[in-house]
Amino acid sequence: MGKERPIIRSYHRQVDRARVEDLERRCEVGPSKRFFLFTDTLGDPICRIRNSPMYKMLVAEMDKELVGVIQGSIKVVTIDKPPKDIAKVGYMLGLRVAPHHRRKGIGSSLVRELEQWFLTNEVDYSYMATEKENEASVKLFVDKFGYNKFRTPAILVNPVQNFHSHISSNIEITKLKTEHAEFLYRKFMSSTEFFPNDIDKILKNKLSLGTWVAYPKGEGFGFDSFEVPSSWAMISVWNTGQLFKLWLGKAPLSCLLYTKSKRLISRFFPCFKLFPSLPDFFNPFGFYFMYGVYSEGPFSGKMVRSLCQFVHNLGVATKDCKVIVTEVGGSDEVRHHIPHWKLLSCPEDLWCIKALKNEERNGLYELTKTPPAKTLFVDPREV
């Protein structure tokens, strides 16, 4: 008797919502040696891709039981591969298989079906992101489906503490109009890897809190004359907490000891501020995602740090925001100027990519073998 194959079909909210949420609760996300993150999608399992230009969720069933799920989105981005500099890409995320149904080919069936949807929509490349230590995921995509290891960006996480960060009085921080933010992004980042062609829609999205620039006091931007300050930086902020919440299911011993010692010190010696405060990660929390990080000039690092401190202060004023997160290119010097905790951050995430069309496969070899660009644009709609 042959092995039973799962039925793969599109997600239907009325039928599948509760079952997908239950599956998410049973699946732990994150390398076991560090911590597990659990996700509360606030009643909308498709929330992570709903703001993308095109998106789809697939579910897998066996004996009327929902046993797997995967999500995908499609967009047009910059990819430095002559003769073209743009490509249509499909992003895979949220692959989950019920623990008691693993090693039955369910994950493979979901990936295969989503790739077919990409092909139907003329996608040039499919890509995915995973933890570098996730051997099962790497083996599935790289060994079985022929994906190539592409980039290793750094995910930087900084806790929101209960006090405001000091920002130098010599630095001016200004919120840009949406049209001015779009102008700067297209002028200075349009050639950046994975820069989205529809940056205007991202900036106008209700989840985008705005774009801010930092520069030396006394200088400024001339949008009519195309002038920029001698040193400056730019950051946009996405309120991910309105889409879904996270909470920590398992933490390193050092994190637990830190938390307990901090609480004791705060309780018995409230006048001493020996440690920065650690937010409560064991209950659902939201976070801000900083995207479109760009800087120029001899003091650009100082400008980036000031913007990060400004975003931290925005988080302090928001009860739900517990961490500030960003993702930058692994070789991007800007990472050294972004405040973060090593304990909570991931120095090397892993992006894998695959050419879906025959004519793109030769170009893919060049793309994956060339040294990575310093800057990398991470779309906040795919966080």
How does pLDDT run across 67-78, given as a tens digit for each residue? 999 999 999 999
- What confidence tens digit (pLDDT) does each residue in 356-373 have? 988 777 667 667 777 776
342 has a pLDDT exceeding 80:
yes
For residues 298 and 269, the model is more confident at 298
Token readout for 175 is 């919120």
Q: Which of 66-70, 157-161, 254-258, 308-312 has the lowest mean pLDDT?
A: 254-258
- pTM over the 0.85 mark: yes
71 Cβ neighbours under 8 A, 6+ residues apart: 46, 48, 49, 55, 56, 57, 58, 92, 93, 94
Kindly tell me the burial class for residue 297, based on how many C-beta atoms sit within 10 Å of its own C-beta (0-12, 13-18, 19 or more): middle
In this predicted structure, the answer to whether residue 29 has a pLDDT above a threshold of 90 is: no
Give the residue with greater pLDDT, 1 vs 344. Answer: 344
The answer on pLDDT for 255 being more than 60 is no
Q: Give the pLDDT of residue 28.
A: 63
Residue 172 per-residue DSSP state: E
List the alpha helices (DSSP H) in 173-316: 178-188, 199-204, 253-268, 300-316
Overall average pLDDT of the 276-290 stretch = 83
CA distances from 30 to 95, 113, 154, 204 (A): 13, 25, 15, 31
- Percent of the chain surpassing pLDDT 70: 86
How much is the pLDDT for 336?
94
203 φ/ψ angles, rounded to the nearest 5 degrees: -65, -30
Residue % of the chain over a pLDDT of 90: 68
**Does the pLDDT at position 2 exceed 80?**
no
Q: What's the pLDDT at 356?
A: 93
Band (pLDDT 50/70/90 cuts) for residue 40 is confident
Q: Is 351 left (phi over 0), alpha (psi -120 to 50) or beta?
A: beta
Query: What's the confidence (pLDDT) of residue 26?
Result: 83
